[in-house]
């Protein structure tokens, strides 16, 4: 005799009848498409320079002029320029790269208030996901030049330092333009993080160059990118451009007398 199984959904709350798990699973393909598009479009790009700064910087501001001149000179030296594709400093850098007859890459992001892509991009990519976009900034650039900016600029700045500090990427120049703008932050990092709380080591600030001199920034980047290949080519990287890591797992749980199993990172 076969018993009848009650309807599994009869007593379930309505929100459990249509689980979003299927939508989340299909979202993986949208994410994957952004990575594939980025990898295929930028695969042949020479080692580039990512330039960051505020989207709110107007065309008549001295910082706009500096970013434009900096990118133009880099392009004339043969170095592709990558920006976030928007207005302000991003527009200035893309504009300068075009004026220098160089490669001008814009990694545009879809935002609720609609970031309008600037018209100075000869390679243009569009992203819905910040994390996919951020991979492209790091994977295809071998130097960061960072002008005054807001939270997004700080995000890229600190991520680059984290990845260099933890040896997840090979070191490269991280140059902050604007002593007046950056000095307060750098002072807080040194006095509070390094000295008072000791949450960073003294050499960590050596990862950054702070200057008002655009020529100095260009000289540092150009010297680095034209040095021996070992100075700027990545070795033993994962697909997204970071180094493999090592996973540590205990064989029988948290017992201290058990050896760890060392597994290569993905």
Q: pLDDT by residue (tens digit) across 177-233?
A: 999 999 999 999 999 999 999 999 999 999 999 999 999 999 999 999 999 565 555
Q: In this predicted structure, what is the pLDDT of residue 110? A: 93
What is the CA 56 to chain-centroid distance, rounded?
20
Q: In this predicted structure, what is the pLDDT of residue 64? A: 98
Separation of alpha carbons 69 and 53, rounded Å: 14
Q: pLDDT by residue (tens digit) across 38-49?
A: 999 999 999 999
Higher pLDDT, 63 or 115: 63
Q: Are 54 and 92 in contact (CB under 8 A)?
A: no
Separation of alpha carbons 121 and 193, rounded Å: 39
Q: In this predicted structure, what is the pLDDT of residue 21? A: 73
Q: In this predicted structure, what is the pLDDT of residue 255? A: 46
Q: In this predicted structure, what is the pLDDT of residue 62? A: 98
Separation of alpha carbons 154 and 168, rounded Å: 19
Separation of alpha carbons 53 and 84, rounded Å: 9
For the domain bounded by 46-235, which CATH number is listed?
3.40.50.450
Q: In this predicted structure, what is the pLDDT of residue 244? A: 76
- pLDDT averaged over the chain? 87
Q: In this predicted structure, what is the pLDDT of residue 242? A: 73
Give residue for tokens 């459990």.
Answer: 16
Q: In this predicted structure, what is the pLDDT of residue 15? A: 54
Mean pLDDT value of segment 44-56: 97
Out of 10-24, 47-61, 108-122, 145-159, pick the least confident.
10-24
264 pLDDT tier (thresholds 50, 70, 90): very low
The structure tokens listed for 239 are 């697909």
What is the residue extent of each domain of the chain? 46-235
Q: pLDDT by residue (tens digit) across 142-178?
A: 999 999 999 999 999 999 999 999 999 999 999 999 9
| Three-state DSSP state, 263 | strand
Percent above pLDDT 90 for the chain: 73
Whether 60 shows a pLDDT value over 80: the answer reads: yes
Whether 250 shows a pLDDT value over 90: the answer reads: no
Out of 18-27, 44-53, 67-76, pick the least confident.
18-27
Whether 1 shows a pLDDT value over 50: the answer reads: no
Whether 17 shows a pLDDT value over 60: the answer reads: no
Mean pLDDT value of segment 82-108: 98
């Amino acid at each position: 005799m076969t018993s009848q199984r009650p309807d599994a959904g009869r007593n379930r709350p309505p929100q459990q009848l249509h689980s979003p798990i299927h939508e989340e699973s299909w979202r993986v393909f949208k994410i994957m498409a952004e990575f594939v598009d980025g990898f295929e479009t930028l695969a042949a790009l020479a080692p580039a320079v990512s330039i960051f700064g505020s989207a709110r910087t107007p065309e008549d501001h001295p910082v706009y002029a500096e970013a434009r001149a900096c990118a133009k000179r880099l392009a004339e030296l043969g170095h592709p320029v990558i920006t976030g594709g928007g207005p302000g400093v991003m527009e200035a850098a893309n504009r300068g790269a075009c004026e220098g007859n160089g490669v001008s890459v814009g990694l545009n992001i879809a935002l609720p208030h609609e970031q309008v892509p600037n018209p100075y991009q000869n390679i243009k990519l569009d992203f819905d996901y910040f994390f996919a976009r951020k991979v492209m900034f790091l994977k295809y650039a071998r130097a960061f030049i960072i002008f005054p900016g807001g939270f997004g600029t700080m995000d890229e700045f600190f991520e680059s330092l984290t990845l260099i500090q933890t040896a997840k990427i090979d070191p490269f120049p991280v140059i902050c333009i604007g002593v007046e703008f950056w000095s307060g932050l750098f002072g807080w990092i040194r006095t509070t993080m390094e000295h008072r709380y000791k949450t960073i080591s003294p050499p960590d600030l050596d990862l950054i160059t702070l200057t008002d001199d655009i020529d100095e920034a260009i000289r540092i980047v150009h010297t680095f990118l034209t040095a021996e290949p070992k100075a700027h080519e990545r070795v033993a990287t994962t697909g997204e451009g970071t180094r493999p890591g090592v996973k540590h797992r205990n064989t029988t749980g948290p017992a201290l007398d058990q050896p760890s199993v060392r597994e290569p990172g993905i």
